[in-house]
Structure 1
Amino acid sequence: MNKYEIRVIVLSSTILGVFFFALLFNVFSRKIDVPTCIPYDASFQKAEVRKVDDDYYEVYVTARMWNYDPGEIVVPPGSTVDFYLTSADVVHGFNIERKGVNLMAVPGAVNKTTVKFDEYGEYRIVCHEYCGVGHQNMMGKVLVTNSAL
């Protein structure tokens, strides 16, 4: 090998090492969850909020032009929520403010993430991928209140 090939291999290995370090640092040190992509199957029949336990919910969200179904999710404080996300038409974004959730809603695929809501309040959900003319109106919300389901 000549010296330029060796330099490229060393540089590529260094960049790959930095990438893996950043990924592992964010997962373990900053407690940022990496979303799971699960195969689309018949269990995702309709958009709904399922109460599994007193403080555990499963929310099946379908993104479509230009809304989320369900558009409003109500849970009590201290709840752990599993979000299952898919799209009915085009690629959409799914960002929950103040929670670090940033998912892609892709037709034919289901993304999953788990979020704990400890504080009362309203957490807006916005689409961060341009999905058409009405994109700016595509919003939803998670309400954390005692008057939950």
Structure 2
Amino acid sequence: MRIEAYERIFMILAGLMLVLGIVGIGIGALVAGVHVPSPAGRIDPRALSTTPPFDQPGLRDLGGGKYEAVVIARAWQFQPDEIQVPVGATVTFTLASPDVIHGFVLTGTNANVMVIPGQISQVTARFDQPGEYLWVCHEYCGFGHHQMYGKVVVR
């Protein structure tokens, strides 16, 4: 079967694009550490406010510059909506939702995770520069979605 020159060029370019895409995914996963977050656990969303650690949301000092921020994402607010950590802190955000799907993206970091009712989500970020790092809900969750934000204050 005879293949026209332009078809052959197109097939070669399409094959190269496929190979480059696979190489890019491999570099992202193996070199840059990009990965899809998986649930850190399961929780009954109806009993969220009485189940540890979500019965006392807030920041916990784990020692050695490591912290855990337990955050509840509920219709149109994060609880707590602000945490303060020192420069050089590594913070693991442990999140859950009692109502609908929310999102959590932390500006200036690679922290980005969905918060799904019934699942515990975790994401970690390191803060090497002082300042304020805004986090927002990036999944539309209803009427007050645009007011759903919080921040990390690094001093």
TM tier relative to shorter chain? 0.7 to 0.9
Q: Which runs of 5+ in 1 are unaligned?
A: 1-13
Match of residue 42, structure 2, among 34, 40, 58:
40
Q: CA deviation at 1:94?
A: 0.3
Q: How well do the aligned residues superpose, as a CA RMSD in angstroms?
A: 2.3
Select between 42-51 and 129-138 the one with higher mean Cα deviation.
Answer: 42-51
1:86-131 CA distance string (max 9 Å, x none): 1121000101001021110111101112111100000000111100
Equivalent residue letter for 1:123: Y
Greater strand proportion: 1
Distance 1:98 1:62 in 2: 21
Q: Deviations over 1:1-50 (max 9, x none)?
A: xxxxxxxxxxxxx96x8776444322332233542412225543332211
> Partner of 1:31 in structure 2?
33
Distance 1:70 1:87 in 2: 13
Match of 1:97 among 89, 95, 107: 107
The 5 Å alignment of 1:1-149 reads 21-32=23-34, 34-40=36-42, 42-46=51-55, 47-145=57-155
Q: Aligned residues, how many?
A: 132
- With over 3 angstroms needed to count, the CA separation of the structure-2 counterparts of 1:129 and 1:117, relative to structure 1, is same
**Between 62-71 and 31-40, the greater mean CA deviation after superposition:** 31-40
Whether the aligned pair in 1 keeps the contact of 2:112 and 2:123 (CA below 8 Å) is: no
Q: What runs of 5+ residues in structure 2 fail to find an aligned partner?
A: 1-16, 44-50
Q: Give deviations 1:72-97, integer Å, cap 9, x for gaps.
A: 01100000111111112100010100
SS at match of 1:25: helix
TM-score, normalised to structure 2's length? Answer: 0.75
- How does the TM-score come out when normalised to structure 1? 0.78
Name which one, 1 or 2, has greater alpha-carbon Rg: 2
Secondary structure at 1:128 match in 2:
coil
Amino acid at match of 1:126: V
